[in-house]
A and B are shown apart, each in its own frame.
Chain A
Amino acid sequence: MTEIILWVSVQELCQCGGFTEQIIVEAVDHGIAQPADGDNITDWVFDTTTVHWLRKAVRLHYDLEIDWIAISMVVDLLQKNEVLEQQSRRFEQQLNRFIN
């Protein structure tokens, strides 16, 4: 059976390539990523969904040359959009059950 890991440490994030400690601190400062646990950077751990958004944020930072404040807004909107899309799919499904 394969090992499933729910937490990722800062050290591991840096090994994933593209991340540096400085980037992770920037992302946390701007609310893009929130450590699930740990008081300082050496103890921080992140959940796997945060890793996904962090990767998106770093890509946007380099590819579109936009600053962290703008990225935190973009990521926030992308996340809200994902929630709304999910909600809309669910309501549509419920409505269909109710009408048909």
Chain B
Amino acid sequence: MDFKDYYQLLGVSEDSDSKDIKTAYRKLARKYHPDMNPDPGAEDKFKEVAEAYEVLKDAGRRAEYDELRQHGNRQGAGFEPPPNWQRSGGFSDADSTRFEGDFSDFFNSMFRGGATEADQQPKGSRGQDAEIEMPIFLEETVTETSKLVEYQIPVYENGQVKDVKKSLKVKIPAGTVDGERVRLKGQGGYGQGDGPHGDLYLHIRLVPHPLFDVEGHNLVITVPLAPWEAALGAKVTVPTLTGKIHLTIAPNSQAGTRLRIKGKGMKTKTGTGDMFALLKIVVPSSANDEVKALWQSLAEKAEFDPRAQWSNE
């Protein structure tokens, strides 16, 4: 077990007063708190900082730690508490920060009489909740779908933490939307003793679709049109989530126009959204001489200035 220098972790000196320690903790906590900092590694860093603060903020615990620190410094890298070490300051789980409360072995050996975290859990305590990201395809939201979920949860066994693989078949209700959380009762971390298991939360994430964009309960499909289709009007076949529809494009349609197709959006618990066809005009990337001549005669005959609004400025 390595000796932890809590002063160093908080970036304060040995003779710092409680106000400096609090300020240093707050600064680091703000920086590394996993709810504020999504970087991998931030959570571990935060736990170290929280553990350091847990000890140094309390005068009694700090005095004990200072005493041990002298001992630890003499021993070098590997650290064992002195054989006659008796913790005097009380420490209960109720004092700990609520962020999972899992402290290092070093902390446990000092303040919890060498007990591991698993031993600390009161008999019959409930298992921890777990949350995992669950990617689903847009097509899967149309009807109730069953999905196989595979995940790992930490399990305490004989004082050791092991990751156990679990797999479940889950019914995803029709109308599930991006960002929704689905709760699976009793599928989270194992309880201690007779305690119930925690829950598993599935954080639903819609996989980006090759054709459709999602806006709330509405779908948007970008429809490419040839310049003459936009000018003359056209009938185009447009895919929907459940089939195909024919869409009439009015003559002289502009790029960026959104046409509403009622009831072809996403199914929700309260109804069905709409689909919007977003028009986009595409020009052929090359043209033969005959086509070029046609464009040329169009340019001469059509009295059209696309930058007319600039002439006023």
Contact = CB atoms under 8 A, between A and B. Distances in A.
Nearest to A1: B171
6 contacts: A1-B170, A16-B199, A17-B126, A59-B99, A62-B97, A64-B29
B29 A4 contact: no
Nearest to A78: B35
Interface stretch (B174-182, B235-243, B259-267): B174-182
A2 B29 contact: no
Contacts of A51: 181, 183, 201
B262 to A, nearest CB: 21
A2 B26 contact: no
A3 interface: yes
A16 B98 contact: no
A59 B29 CA distance: 12
A5 B146 contact: no
B171 A2 contact: yes
Given A1-B146, A55-B129, A56-B35, 19 more contacts: A2-B184, A4-B183, A16-B199, A17-B126, A49-B180, A51-B183, A52-B203, A59-B98, A62-B97, A63-B98, A64-B30, A64-B33, A78-B35, A86-B178, A90-B215, A94-B213, A94-B222, A98-B222, A98-B280
B222 A4 contact: no
Interface of B: 26, 29-30, 33, 35, 46, 50, 97-99, 125-126, 128-129, 131, 146, 168-173, 178-185, 187, 196, 198-199, 201, 203, 208, 213-215, 220, 222, 278, 280
Given A16-B199, A48-B201, A60-B35, A6 B183 contact: yes
Contacts of B182: 4, 6, 48
A64 to B, nearest CB: 5
A16 B128 CA distance: 8
Contacts, number: 94
Interface residues of A, number: 33
A22 interface: no
Contacts of A55: 129
Nearest to B22: A65
Contact of A63 (B33, B181, B187, B199): B33
A59 to B, nearest CB: 5
A38 interface: no
Contacts of B222: 94, 97-98
A48 B170 CA distance: 16
A6 B98 CA distance: 25
Contact of A94 (B126, B173, B181, B220): B220
Interface in A46-100: 48-49, 51-52, 55-56, 58-65, 78, 82, 86, 90, 93-94, 97-98
A3 B275 CA distance: 32
Residue picked from A2, A6, A61, A93, most chain B C-beta under 10 Å: A2
Given A64-B29, A94-B213, A1 B98 contact: no
Interface string A1-18: 111111010000001111
A98 B280 CA distance: 7
Given A56-B35, A62-B98, A93 B208 contact: yes
A62 B50 CA distance: 11
Given A63-B29, A64-B29, A93 B213 contact: yes
A51 B97 CA distance: 19
A1 to B, nearest CB: 5
Contacts of A3: 184-185
Contacts of A62: 97-99
A53 B214 CA distance: 24
Nearest to B196: A15
